[in-house]
Amino acid sequence: MKLTDFLRDKEMLLLLHLVCMCLAAAFLRLTGYSRTNTILFLTLWLLLLAAWLLVTFVRRRKFFREAQRILDKVDQRYLLSELLPDSIRLEDRLYREMLHRSNKSCIERIRQIEEKQRDYKEYIESWVHEIKAPITGIALLCNNRRGIAAQSTISQNVESSGQTASETASVSKTDYLTISLENQKIENYVDMVLYYARSEEVYKDYLIRETSLEDVIYEILDKNHLLLIQNHVQADVNCQSTVYTDRKWVAFILNQILQNSVKYRSENPLLRIRAKRKDNSVLCIFEDNGIGIREEDLSRIFDKGFTGSNGRDNGRSTGMGLYLCKKLCDRLGIGLFAESEYGVGTKLYLEFPVSSYIKDVREARV
């Protein structure tokens, strides 16, 4: 608090004192007081007023400085009314009481909103687990019925339709392949919903342990084998490194990156996935030869809802995949950054930290 601001706040009081001093001087002169005595009286008045203003200013500045210090130090700033220093001024006590009541109402409202969000999140998680059962059932039916359906279709329709047995079987197999791919898309979007709902509380659902990057990558390649076959995508994997992280969350992150690479593929798509060990980290490099990312879009690809020029041209992008990957990587302590050249391809880097304790344990084993 500045002295000028304090005096500006007291301008009505100062004006009142000025009027009273003028009236008092006029009264003293009219009642026969000499000019010297009148000036002495007004000077004493001014000194007392200045002393009172100075003491008041020092005390108020000390009070607000202490309040500001508390506000800067505390994390929950809405609790300021509970932490304000004591004051003998009635005005301060009234303001403190009003702040206390206002904050109490705000905290109750926040609690209600948090309860609603928690209920909604629990419902979403429950719904995801329920919907996964029919998704898995559809996938199993497609795998089990593909050959049976082809044989059944041949025996029933070959004479009436005039098609050859090989043509009918091919049509049936194509139908089941299409259903399987669409079902897999549904499963991926459902997984995104589940991981997004849990992204704020990763610490409640993770298990850090030694994880083989190669095993995780082959797992997601196998999961998406139909998608890779349909789009003629080749994969070159060289990731003979282990990291300490949560396998399930990393598998989801890598799966989202794979989906993006296939979505924005080139005519002859090729994925190169390799790992490189550094002094205090393991770097997993996910490289494709797709359409790439424009330079003006590269810095924003991890923003929520950002689709960029590629997403607008593609028409199927939600802008949530890489945003969710970045969010989960931040929660897990994994570095995630990208390099890209438009028309050439994109590289995504996942940097897994390796603590000095783990390095010492590994050396001791050797």
Instruction: Give the H/E segment covering residue 153.
Output: helix 90-161
Strand partners, 286: 273, 348
d(CA 356, CA 359): 5
The whole-number pLDDT of residue 69 equals 83
**Which residues touch 212 (CB under 8 Å, ≥6 apart)?**
241, 242
The whole-number pLDDT of residue 282 equals 92
* pLDDT, tens digit (0-9, with 9 covering 90-100), for 182-232: 888 888 888 888 888 777 776 666 788 889 999 999 999 998 888 898 888
pTM above 0.85, yes or no: no
Q: How many residues does the chain have?
A: 366
CA dist 69 to 55, 72, 73, 94, Å? 21, 5, 6, 21
d(CA 7, CA 152): 96
The whole-number pLDDT of residue 312 equals 67
The whole-number pLDDT of residue 168 equals 47
Please give the chain's pLDDT, 366 residues, in tens. Answer: 788 888 888 889 999 999 999 999 998 888 888 888 889 999 999 999 999 999 988 888 888 888 888 778 877 776 777 777 777 788 878 888 888 888 888 888 888 888 888 888 888 878 887 887 888 888 787 777 665 544 544 344 444 445 554 554 454 667 777 788 888 888 888 888 888 877 777 666 678 888 999 999 999 999 888 889 888 899 999 988 889 888 989 999 999 999 888 888 888 899 999 999 888 889 999 999 988 888 888 888 888 878 777 766 665 677 788 888 998 899 888 999 999 988 889 999 999 988 654 555 455 555
Q: Kindly state the DSSP code that residue 86 receives in the 8-state scheme.
A: P
The whole-number pLDDT of residue 145 equals 66
